[in-house]
Amino acid sequence: MQSAPQSGVQRPDRACAAPPEAARGTRAAGHLRLPQHCARPALRTREADALQRMLRARGLVSVCEEARCPNRSECWSQGHVTFMLLGSVCTRACRFCAVATGRPAAAPDPQEPLRVADAVAQLAVRHVVLTSVNRDDLPDGGAQQFAATLRAIRSRRPELTTEVLTPDFQGDCAAVASVCAAAPDVYNHNVETVPRLYRRVRPGASFERSLRVLAEARRLRPAAVVKSGFMLGLGETREEVVALLGALRGAGVDSVTIGQYLRPSLDHLPVTRYWEPAEFDALAAEARALGIPQVASAALVRSSYNAERTFEQIRAARAADSRRVVAE
């Protein structure tokens, strides 16, 4: 899916546009063959079809579909879905992403939080994940919609744990505070790639700004899990990845997801190389050595993939640490 030209509010701290040679017109670039460890067959199941019908009936959007996640069939068959708030049109044009880009036609829907809560009430899940498109056209970047949805879910199913995967809100700490005030159990914001590649991969974003968002979430929600993730295969070096992991730990991140970039279409950036399973394992070990307690690192790992299991793992580890401190 080719995104429309980028539009939306332009702000002073927006990064410069990428040079012509880094633009999306990369059809002439070499196309690497997909290795077996990066392939996942798309399987249709009754459960996945029912979930899709439920989303359609409520007018809800999922990042699973919009971002063409390779794990959608597996997750939907288990009733796991990541809700995407604020529509399906993003105001940014990240060159790895399949989500449509343009000028959103509508203001935030005040009924969307209730519709999401109603949908969650029907799902047999214990953990729910919310994300959104970037909405740089909104004064708060959509932060209040996250907060309203978290509160609506809690009013229907107070026993659930919740996870947000937010944009950078243009670095607005008040927006981060609005989301944190609604008490998500996990605050996730993805850095996506190493700093050197931002201008090419994420025009409109800033690595330093993303680190500030993560550090602010850690400060405001010390009891929450602070999480981030990034992709491999966009031209990064191993040394840059290790440095990135160190920066995330320095910002207070305690859960990291690392996955392989898979090109959504010929209009997106090409894959520079496919990292091997052993390399993903080695990076996980490196991250843990740097002090990051929980790491999911494999080709098909995505931010929300097995999110409930990831949260339970780190919660169990924290409980064990608390018992150890008491025993000492």
Low-confidence winner among 81-90, 179-188, 221-230, 304-313 (lowest mean pLDDT)? 304-313
Instruction: Please calculate the CA angle 319-324-327 and round it to the nearest 5 degrees.
Output: 125
- Residue 7's pLDDT is 34
Which residues, in sequence order, are CB contacts of 224 under 8 Å at separation 6+? 180, 183, 184, 185, 186, 187, 217
Whole-Å CA distances, 269 to 22, 168, 247 = 8, 22, 25
Do 234 and 18 contact (CB within 8 A), yes or no?
no
Predicted pLDDT at 30? 57
Write the single-letter amino acid at 259: G
Please write the tens of the pLDDT for every residue from 59-115.
Answer: 999 999 999 999 898 899 988 999 999 999 999 999 999 999 999 988 999 999 999
Q: Quick one: pLDDT at residue 289?
A: 97
Torsion of CA 251, 253, 259, 262, to 10 degrees: -50
Question: What's the mean per-residue pLDDT of the chain?
Answer: 89
Tell me which amino acid residue 163 is: E
Q: What does the pLDDT look like over 125-146, one tens digit per residue?
A: 999 999 999 999 999 999 999 9
13 has pLDDT over 70: no
CA distances from 208 to 9, 108, 191, 238, 282 (A): 20, 28, 9, 20, 26
| Mean pLDDT of the 179-195 span | 98
Output the pTM of the full model.
0.88
φ, ψ dihedrals at 221, nearest 5°: -125, 70
Residues 105 and 149 sit within 8 Å (Cβ to Cβ) = no
Name the residue among 271, 326, 279 with its Cα closest to residue 298.
Answer: 279
pLDDT tens-digit map of 16-67: 333 333 334 444 445 688 999 998 877 788 999 999 999 999 999 999 999 9
